[in-house]
Structure 1
Amino acid sequence: MSAVFSRSPAAKAHRLRKRLPWWALALPVVSFIALLALVASPSEASAASAPQGLAALLEFLAGLVRIGA
């Protein structure tokens, strides 16, 4: 014996009406742009002896994928 569970249309509509606050979308966008700016202009970073640029990041990510596989 299984019971049939269904929500009323009013409960579904109320759940769909909820909206995110403006900062819930703005914060990830701002942080992504800041990280992208750091990767795109590595000459302004303080650690000049470290490997620079997007190529170093891609090599690091490739190494992570090889370790995980």
Structure 2
Amino acid sequence: MSAPAHLPAPRTTAPDTRLHWWTLALPALAFGLLLLLLAGSGQAHAATDEGSALVQVTHQLLRAVG
């Protein structure tokens, strides 16, 4: 014998389908920031003789250990 099926009651009101402001603003902001990063990357220059502080510390540690 099977159990009786309980069906949900039909809706009498329409669901709220409005979008929040951030559902459109955040993707648009992210797209704009990525576009600015891509547009500004043509002016990027490689580092010359000086390495970053992290690279210098790493070299010193490797020399001390090895």
Q: TM-score, normalised by structure 2?
A: 0.44
Which structure would you say has the larger RCO, counting Cα contacts within 8 Å and 6 or more residues apart? 1
Q: TM-score, normalised by structure 1?
A: 0.42
If you compute each CA radius of gyration, which structure gives the higher value, 1 or 2? Answer: 2
